[in-house]
A and B are shown apart, each in its own frame.
Chain A
Amino acid sequence: MPSVAATLAGALRRMGSGTLGAIARLGYAARFSVAVVRETPAAFARLHLTVREIYFSGVLSLVIIAVSGLFVGMVLALQGYDVLQRYGSDESLGVLVALSLVRELGPVVAGLLFASRAGSAITAEIGLMKATEQLSAMEMMAVDPLARVVAPRFWGGVIAMPLLAAIFSMLGIYGAYLVGVKLIGIDVGAFWANMQANVDFRYDIVNGIIKSVVFGIAVSLIAVFEGFDAKPTAEGVSSATTRTVVGSSLTILALDFVLTVFMFRGLR
């Protein structure tokens, strides 16, 4: 039976080594990120590799993004109408839906879906390549896995994410139009005119697109890093995939808060 002091010392030691390990991993991740960004020319020199990755992370995510966008917009319209009509301002429904989608829900929800649909797939693929020693084999053949495997996946994600977020917002607004105008019967002119009068191109739409680009970079970097850093076992790949989804979801939400503070402070 170990003494209390020894147990405490053991816990303290584990905590210390855990912290040091996490910091070292963060440093490695930073070094890895710089290396990936440096391989950018390689991703665009062999464009067909990047196009393939846009297909896998973008085109194949289209269905889930489209359906979720439509439903999020429809629910927003129903709930928004319920509150707005109490104050006699149900004609602002278009503004409410458009601003919440373009500023927040479009980039954030599309980013969360992208992380679980495409990010997890990227991590699993790279992790499995590592586990089956395909990455080592590439290195043996003097092919840099960063240029051949990692950089195209990173850029594919970065390019696909803003497009997916824009499609999400567009379909969300269309869903709100269906519910608000077709189902509830708000005046169609008021719906669009109020929206256009109150949604600013520079402050709302461009900031939303900037958000989605930042989320795309964050999710893609986390996904390729977790895959590249996975323990080369079945268990390691599975835990790396989990870490990608959890980590990038939390990163998206935290980054969203920080970006919102900077973008929309002191406005309106």
Chain B
Amino acid sequence: MNGERTAIDLWVGAFVALGIGAMLFLALKVGNLVSFGSPPGYRIEARFDNIGGLKLRAPVKAAGVVVGRVEDVRLDPKTYQAVVTLKIDRDYEFTADTIASILTSGLLGEVYIGLDAGGDTKMLGDNGRVTKTQSAVILEKLIGQFLLDKAAGGGK
């Protein structure tokens, strides 16, 4: 009886170790544990005329490197602009004249915010505001504009 119980204990121990190992594998190899919870960082705000298909938790990239995430998107009821709150990793600082633009990786890829730092000596602090922004390119509007130009050119 006692011997059998030890064998069962051994099996259960191995099973639990295997299960926890699988969870660790999922956490470390499949997911990226670095993004666990919300990494320490600071928030900056950017206002756009149109955010296109930007979603919550979309990446914020500078020179192609992910430096933060979109944390909140809402509409300013007075100016009718989209107010986007970005959470930037603590390790990175951006100049006060940084340009924020809404970009798409590839034709069908994900929408993200690109930050281009300027030459200002002042840095954006917590709750800082990006003043220079570039809205999303709406493909339909672009095509409409193109057709309009074409029609105007043909009339001449």
Contacts and interface: CB of A to CB of B under 8 A. Distances in A.
A58 interface: yes
A98 interface: yes
A168 to B, nearest CB: 8
Interface residues of B, number: 28
A120 interface: no
Interface stretch (A35-43, A47-55, A134-142, A249-257): A47-55
B129 interface: no
Interface string B97-120: 000000000001000000000000
A29 interface: no
Contact of B20 (A163, A173, A202): A163
B32 A170 contact: no
B8 A52 contact: yes
A202 B34 CA distance: 10
Contact of B22 (A160, A169, A202): A169
A170 B27 contact: no
B15 A62 contact: yes
Interface string B16-58: 1011101101110111110111000000000000000001110
Given A51-B9, A55-B11, A163-B19, A201 B27 contact: yes
A167 B31 contact: no
Contact of B26 (A54, A55, A58, A102): A102
A55 B5 CA distance: 10
A268 B19 CA distance: 29
B75 interface: no
A186 interface: no
B85 to A, nearest CB: 15
A133 interface: no
Interface in A46-85: 48, 51-52, 54-55, 58-59, 62
Interface residues of A, number: 37
A169 B26 contact: yes
Contact of B15 (A48, A59, A169): A59
B37 A202 contact: yes
A200 B30 contact: no
B3 to A, nearest CB: 13
Given A55-B12, A163-B18, A202-B37, 16 more contacts: A52-B8, A55-B8, A58-B15, A87-B108, A98-B30, A159-B16, A166-B26, A167-B19, A169-B30, A199-B31, A200-B31, A200-B32, A201-B31, A202-B35, A205-B27, A267-B56
Top 10 A-B pairs ranked by shortest CB distance?
A163-B19, A166-B22, A170-B22, A201-B31, A199-B31, A166-B23, A167-B22, A59-B15, A55-B8, A205-B31
Interface of A: 48, 51-52, 54-55, 58-59, 62, 87, 98, 102, 159-160, 162-164, 166-167, 169-170, 173, 192, 195-197, 199-205, 208-209, 266-268
17 contacts: A48-B9, A51-B8, A52-B5, A55-B8, A59-B12, A59-B15, A62-B15, A164-B19, A166-B26, A169-B26, A170-B26, A195-B30, A196-B32, A200-B31, A200-B35, A202-B36, A267-B57
